[in-house]
Structure 1
């Protein structure tokens, strides 16, 4: 049986007529009143013997700023957003920390925007703690907080709403090169004329004030936690790091911010996002990383991929495309 345009229009007319016959019906009269909230945002997946969980910190939708893509006209970036069905004139950036349960350690990779931003953002971001709890994880049980780099949307979740440490029993691990860059008074002084960079330096100072003794610096190419090896992926920041999580014969690549939203910067790896400290190096890193991921047919997890943020990357000429993984109800 096939439906014609006439059939569809007729059906719409009947539905409209039915609505007009009950003008006094309200939401309160409905059998199932609207809930007004999303379900908890967590998704489990397996890497060998490890149980991993993608934790949704939220998604921020905002008017696309001038220079969001630095090396092409704004109109072209807006067209890419429209092609990705984002709200007109806007751009949406998701945030997804990852929890790795090795059996002996609970490791949280990145922490999100921080619960202090939950109310000011009207629930858009800052959901990591509540979604960890929904997933059955007590923040006090986290053994390691493993940071890919020191931008606010990855570090601010270290602090609870009252400013205390959200993960009081965790060792905090940071990339040595990023720590060196962002804690340098000389670098901070050079950044005073750039409002975004000025804010980043100030945020690092505020976030880590008084907890320096809990911070361990790690280098690239090392096993930084059981089954987790750090990968050199600079450009977004000087010490930006990705991770290979391996157990048995299984492996996933956690790409952190090698790309920001994939609809823009994975499809167009030569575009320069506003947030990259060294755009040329970030561009080179994207090609190297995605060539490797595509050649290995590796599962890739992206901090700024649409939740649950898991998929595969394929080469598409000189560009790449993301193939989201199918939802697995049984992990």
Structure 2
């Protein structure tokens, strides 16, 4: 009986390399070498909610230094969580996943990603929503509503095309009333001048919505904001941060937006605070309430920062939670 060990694995890898190196001399090949493709497959995944056809659209996965990503624990503790998730050393991998909901009467895009202006600076890692919509056969002109969960750049900047024009020219742009009030306030912006990140966020909202302010529809919580889509109050990440219940027939999903950022950190450690939270304590309270509800209902949950295709179930695990991703289904 042969026992498997790390020594055997390394020896096997070395032997395989030697065989490859010798193969031109030991066994002639009829096939020419095939160069690597160097490109990933399009990022979209379709699923059903009752009669609604939904599509998870990947905007990319951004790598950022771990630094202060978790604001209320030591960097070493956050690094240990990253290591447990096999992330690149010293980095955090953050996915972005807008959701397209076809209700039959309306085509609704929930959040729209970082925008194509991020493709260059991120070296193609972020800003992929438009190209993945195209790969999914969706013309941006056909989208009726772009529904924002909140006004952070990775959710809202995608409304602009590369030349600054509207990426979804026929869409109604809907934003949470409370978030609009907060980010458009000159008084709030003045208070944020000492915080570089918040200062930039305020400036970004003004820039992205410049010239279209009067065309933006503000919505409230607890309302049907589009057919079968109801807004849910989940404040803390931002003052107007919103999640959504999407229901058709007897089927329902919860789109949690940024109730938690990446689950490897903030489901496993629900009292950790992501650096982007405007009100971390409220966000923490919201997180527990939302996931206690989702776990009790055994609800399907969609997370903007969950690993693509970003769909799963959240279970209680003592005082923590864990994500159980859905299995890939080749049939819609």
TM-score range, shorter chain: over 0.9
In the TM superposition, what are the counterparts of 1:220-259 in structure 2 within 5 Å? 220-259=221-260
Aligned equivalents of 1:291, 1:30: Cα separation in 2: 57
Aligned partner of residue 79 in structure 1, secondary structure: helix
Cα deviations by residue, 1:83-118 (Å, 9 ceiling, x for unpaired): 110011111110000000001100000010001111
Q: Measured at CA, do residues 16 and 330 of structure 1 come closer, stay the same or move farther in structure 2, by a change above 3 Å? A: same
Whether 1:39 and 2:30 are equivalent positions in the alignment is no
Aligned equivalents of 2:149, 2:63: Cα separation in 1: 23
Aligned partner of residue 82 in structure 1, secondary structure: helix
Aligned partner of residue 251 in structure 1, secondary structure: strand
Aligned to 2:108: 107
Aligned equivalents of 1:37, 1:310: Cα separation in 2: 24
In the TM superposition, what are the counterparts of 1:192-231 in structure 2 within 5 Å? 192-231=193-232
Aligned equivalents of 1:20, 1:46: Cα separation in 2: 49
Gaps of 5+ in 2: 26-30
Aligned to 1:306: 307
Aligned to 1:289: 290
Aligned equivalents of 1:37, 1:3: Cα separation in 2: 38
Aligned equivalents of 1:303, 1:170: Cα separation in 2: 21
In the TM superposition, what are the counterparts of 1:4-23 in structure 2 within 5 Å? 4-5=4-5, 8=9, 11-21=12-22
Aligned equivalents of 2:40, 2:2: Cα separation in 1: 35
Aligned equivalents of 1:136, 1:3: Cα separation in 2: 51
Q: Measured at CA, do residues 74 and 11 of structure 1 come closer, stay the same or move farther in structure 2, by a change above 3 Å? A: closer
- How far the C-alpha of 1:13 sits from its partner, in A, is 4.3
Aligned equivalents of 2:2, 2:48: Cα separation in 1: 42
Cα deviations by residue, 1:236-280 (Å, 9 ceiling, x for unpaired): 000000000000000000000000011001111100110000000
- How far the C-alpha of 1:321 sits from its partner, in A, is 0.3
Whether 1:320 and 2:292 are equivalent positions in the alignment is no
- How far the C-alpha of 1:7 sits from its partner, in A, is 6.3
Normalising by structure 1, what TM-score? 0.95
Gaps of 5+ in 1: none
Aligned residue pairs, count = 326
- How far the C-alpha of 1:11 sits from its partner, in A, is 3.8
- How far the C-alpha of 1:301 sits from its partner, in A, is 0.2
Aligned equivalents of 1:261, 1:88: Cα separation in 2: 16
Aligned equivalents of 1:44, 1:157: Cα separation in 2: 21
Aligned equivalents of 1:33, 1:215: Cα separation in 2: 48
- How far the C-alpha of 1:69 sits from its partner, in A, is 1.2
- How far the C-alpha of 1:9 sits from its partner, in A, is 5.6
Aligned equivalents of 2:20, 2:49: Cα separation in 1: 50
Q: Measured at CA, do residues 208 and 75 of structure 1 come closer, stay the same or move farther in structure 2, by a change above 3 Å? A: same
- How far the C-alpha of 1:212 sits from its partner, in A, is 1.3
Cα deviations by residue, 1:193-216 (Å, 9 ceiling, x for unpaired): 000000000000000001112200
Aligned equivalents of 2:304, 2:185: Cα separation in 1: 26
What is the alpha-carbon root mean square deviation over aligned residues? 1.6
Aligned partner of residue 256 in structure 2, secondary structure: strand
Aligned equivalents of 2:320, 2:182: Cα separation in 1: 31
In the TM superposition, what are the counterparts of 1:111-260 in structure 2 within 5 Å? 111-260=112-261
Aligned equivalents of 2:264, 2:32: Cα separation in 1: 38
Q: Measured at CA, do residues 21 and 57 of structure 1 come closer, stay the same or move farther in structure 2, by a change above 3 Å? A: same
Aligned equivalents of 2:10, 2:201: Cα separation in 1: 54
Normalising by structure 2, what TM-score? 0.95
- How far the C-alpha of 1:3 sits from its partner, in A, is 6.1
Aligned equivalents of 2:118, 2:11: Cα separation in 1: 48
